[in-house]
Amino acid sequence: MIRAVVHLELSGLERFRHEVSKPQGPIRDALRQWGHRYRTFVQRRFVKYSRGGGDWPPLKYKRRRGSRARAAILRDTGTLFRALDPVWRSNPGAIQQDLPFGIRVGYGGPHRHPKAGISIADLAAIHDQGLGRMPKRQIIVQPDNRTRAQMVSDMQRALKKLADGV
């Protein structure tokens, strides 16, 4: 009988797996940079769409006061907008959570909207999904190609750093 015994040297892979799952280090930095990239993208999109440059339905009723007659869509108090600030500042209604090899960003938390009387996250969900009588105005969407390319670049740089032992 011929028997082949193959030994796989996986200590490098194990070390890599350990590094990737660490709460600090280049991979975590890159994932947080992803969060920043994503919020930059959705906030920039928010600006464009709230000015009528996307597929958000226009406001149904014009507001009464002068300058507000041209109010931007979903920008009444600026709360939904500010929750998407690119730099993480724990703004009301914003979340950023580290996940295993990932990051969760968007709306969340218990903060109440100053006018709606419900939580900011719930209000965002109502607009985002068009719940009740609200028209659908999607805020949380897939990142565009440019943002994805930047994310790929961030992770490539982080992996190289990890490989270099920085």
Partner 1 sequence: MNPFQAVYDALWDLVLTSTELATLVKEGNRIRFDKTARNPLKHALQVGDVPELILLPLGSQSANLSASSCTTHFHRQYQFILATGDLRLAEGLDTVSWNLLCAFANWRAVLGPLTWNEKRFVQGFDITAITDGLRDSENNKNLNGWSSLLTVSVFMQFRTQDLIGDL
Binding site for partner 1 (CB under 8 A): 24, 29, 32-33, 36, 86-88, 149-150, 153-154, 157, 166
Please identify, using beta-carbon distances, which residue of 54 and 86 lies nearer to partner 1.
86
CA 48, 67, 139 angle in degrees (round to 5)? 25
d(CA 46, CA 84): 9
Q: At closest approach, how far in Å is the CB of 97 from partner 1?
A: 15
Q: At closest approach, how far in Å is the CB of 140 from partner 1?
A: 20
31-64 core/surface letters (b: 16 or more CB in 10 A; e: else): bbbbbbbbbbbbbebbeebbeeeeebeebeeeee
d(CA 139, CA 119): 16
Please identify, using beta-carbon distances, which residue of 82 and 157 lies nearer to partner 1.
157
Under 8 Å between Cβ of 24 and 31: no
Q: At closest approach, how far in Å is the CB of 86 from partner 1?
A: 7
Please identify, using beta-carbon distances, which residue of 112 and 157 lies nearer to partner 1.
157
Q: At closest approach, how far in Å is the CB of 127 from partner 1?
A: 26
Q: At closest approach, how far in Å is the CB of 87 from partner 1?
A: 4
Query: Any bridge partners for residue 97, and if so which?
Result: 104
Please identify, using beta-carbon distances, which residue of 74 and 158 lies nearer to partner 1.
158
Please identify, using beta-carbon distances, which residue of 37 and 127 lies nearer to partner 1.
37
Among the listed residues 157, 164, 160, 165, the one whose alpha carbon sits nearest the alpha carbon of residue 34 = 157
- Sequence-ordered strand ranges (E) for the chain: 94-99, 102-107
